[in-house]
Structure 1
Amino acid sequence: MFTIPDFPALQDAINRATEVEVLLALRSGSPGLNGLAALLSPAAEPHLSAMAKRSGAITSQRFGRTIQMYAPVYLSSFCTNRCAYCGFSAGNAIDRRVLTFAEAESEAMILHQRGFSHLLLVSGEAPAKVGVEYLEELALRLRGRFAALSIEVQPLATEEYARLFQAGITSVAVYQETYDRDIYKQVHLAGRKADFDYRLETPARAAAAGMREVGIGALLGLADWRAEGLALGLHLAWLRKHYWRTGLTVSFPRMRPAQGEFKPLAPVSERNLSQMIFALRMFDPDVGLYLSTREEARYRDGMIGLGPTRYSAGSCTAPGGYGLADAGGEQFEVGDNRSLAEVSAAIQQKGFDPVRKDWDAVFQTKEDRQQAA
Structure 2
Amino acid sequence: MYSEDFINDDEIFKLLEEGKNAEKNEIREIINKSLQKIRLEPIETAKLLQTEDKELQEEIFAAARKLKERIYGNRIVFFAPLYIGNKCINNCLYCGFRRDNKAIVRKTLTEEELVEQVKILESKGHKRLILVYGEHPFYNADFIANTVKIVYNTKNHNGEIRRVNINAAPMDVEGYRKLKKVGIGTFQIFQETYHHKTYNILHPQNDMKGNYPWRLYGLDRAMQGGIDDVGIGALFGLFDWKFEVMGLLYHAIHLEKTFGVGPHTISFPRIEPAINTEFYDQTKYKVSDEDFKRVVSILRLSVPYTGMILTARETPEVRREIIPLGISQIDAGSKVGIGGYTKDDYIPEKEQFHLGDIRALDTVVNEMCENGHITSFCTACYRSGRTGEDFMDMAKPGLIQKFCVPNGILTFKEYLLDYASEKTRKNGEALINKELEEIGESDPGRRKMIEEKIALLEKGERDIYV
Matches of 2:262 and 2:203, distance apart in 1:
29
The structure-2 alpha-carbon separation of the partners of 1:153 and 1:365, relative to structure 1 and needing over 3 Å to count, comes to closer
1:150 maps to amino acid: N
Residue aligning to 1:295: 314
Per the normalisation by structure 1, the TM-score is 0.92
2:272 maps to amino acid: R
The structure-2 alpha-carbon separation of the partners of 1:245 and 1:359, relative to structure 1 and needing over 3 Å to count, comes to farther
The structure-2 alpha-carbon separation of the partners of 1:44 and 1:317, relative to structure 1 and needing over 3 Å to count, comes to farther
1:7 is aligned, of 6, 9, 17, to: 9
Query: Quick check: 2:229–2:263 contact (8 Å CA) kept in 1?
Result: yes
Matches of 1:65 and 1:365, distance apart in 2:
20
Query: Quick check: 1:87–1:332 contact (8 Å CA) kept in 2?
Result: yes
**Count of residue pairs the alignment pairs up:** 367
Aligned-pair distance for 1:113?
1.2
1:179 maps to amino acid: Y
Q: How does 1:14-33 map to 2 (within 5 A)?
A: 14-17=16-19, 18-20=21-23, 21-28=26-33, 29=36, 30=38, 31-33=40-42
Aligned-pair distance for 1:326?
9.5
The structure-2 alpha-carbon separation of the partners of 1:279 and 1:341, relative to structure 1 and needing over 3 Å to count, comes to same
Show CA shifts across 1:5-39 (max 9, x none).
Answer: 44343123113223323232122233422211111
Per the normalisation by structure 2, the TM-score is 0.75
The structure-2 alpha-carbon separation of the partners of 1:349 and 1:32, relative to structure 1 and needing over 3 Å to count, comes to same
Matches of 2:313 and 2:169, distance apart in 1:
21
Query: Quick check: 1:207–1:246 contact (8 Å CA) kept in 2?
Result: no
Residue aligning to 2:285: 266
2:333 is aligned, of 300, 314, 331, to: 314
Residue aligning to 1:69: 78
Q: Which moved more, 1:1-10 or 1:335-344?
A: 1-10
Query: Quick check: 1:147–1:361 contact (8 Å CA) kept in 2?
Result: no
Matches of 2:53 and 2:264, distance apart in 1:
26
Show CA shifts across 1:268-292 (max 9, x none).
Answer: 1111111111111111111000000
Show CA shifts across 1:325-345 (max 9, x none).
Answer: 795421000011111111111
Residue aligning to 2:180: 165
The structure-2 alpha-carbon separation of the partners of 1:326 and 1:363, relative to structure 1 and needing over 3 Å to count, comes to closer
Matched, 1:96 2:99: no
Query: Quick check: 2:222–2:228 contact (8 Å CA) kept in 1?
Result: no
1:104 maps to amino acid: L
Aligned-pair distance for 1:4?
3.4
Residue aligning to 2:459: none
Aligned-pair distance for 1:360?
5.9
Q: Which moved more, 1:158-167 or 1:84-93?
A: 158-167
Residue aligning to 1:132: 141
Aligned-pair distance for 1:104?
1.4
The structure-2 alpha-carbon separation of the partners of 1:5 and 1:342, relative to structure 1 and needing over 3 Å to count, comes to same
**Runs of 5+ consecutive residues of structure 1 not aligned to the other structure:** 369-373
Show CA shifts across 1:198-222 (max 9, x none).
Answer: 0000011112222241000111001
SS of residue matched to 2:323: coil
The structure-2 alpha-carbon separation of the partners of 1:246 and 1:232, relative to structure 1 and needing over 3 Å to count, comes to closer
Aligned-pair distance for 1:46?
4.7
Could you say which structure has the higher helix fraction? 2
Aligned-pair distance for 1:246?
6.5
Show CA shifts across 1:318-359 (max 9, x none).
Answer: 110111579542100001111111111121111110112242
Q: How does 1:149-298 map to 2 (within 5 A)?
A: 149-189=164-204, 190-245=206-261, 248-259=264-275, 260-263=277-280, 264-298=283-317
Matches of 2:109 and 2:218, distance apart in 1:
25
Residue aligning to 2:342: 323
SS of residue matched to 2:264: strand
Matches of 1:33 and 1:326, distance apart in 2:
41
Show CA shifts across 1:149-205 (max 9, x none).
Answer: 011111111111111110121211100000111000111124110000100000111
Aligned-pair distance for 1:245?
4.9
Aligned-pair distance for 1:135?
1.0
Matches of 1:213 and 1:5, distance apart in 2:
21
Query: Quick check: 1:105–1:142 contact (8 Å CA) kept in 2?
Result: yes
SS of residue matched to 1:332: coil
Query: Quick check: 2:337–2:346 contact (8 Å CA) kept in 1?
Result: no
Residue aligning to 2:128: 118
Matched, 1:354 2:375: yes
Matches of 1:181 and 1:121, distance apart in 2:
28
1:201 maps to amino acid: Y
Which structure's relative contact order is higher, taking Cα pairs within 8 Å and 6+ residues apart? 1
Query: Quick check: 1:304–1:350 contact (8 Å CA) kept in 2?
Result: no
The structure-2 alpha-carbon separation of the partners of 1:42 and 1:7, relative to structure 1 and needing over 3 Å to count, comes to farther
Q: Which moved more, 1:100-109 or 1:113-122?
A: 100-109
Query: Quick check: 1:4–1:179 contact (8 Å CA) kept in 2?
Result: no
The structure-2 alpha-carbon separation of the partners of 1:77 and 1:44, relative to structure 1 and needing over 3 Å to count, comes to farther
1:95 maps to amino acid: V
Q: Give me the CA root mean square deviation.
A: 2.2
Residue aligning to 1:371: none
Show CA shifts across 1:210-239 (max 9, x none).
Answer: 224100011100111101101110110111
The structure-2 alpha-carbon separation of the partners of 1:335 and 1:76, relative to structure 1 and needing over 3 Å to count, comes to same
- Calculate percent identity across the aligned residue pairs: 28
Residue aligning to 2:443: none
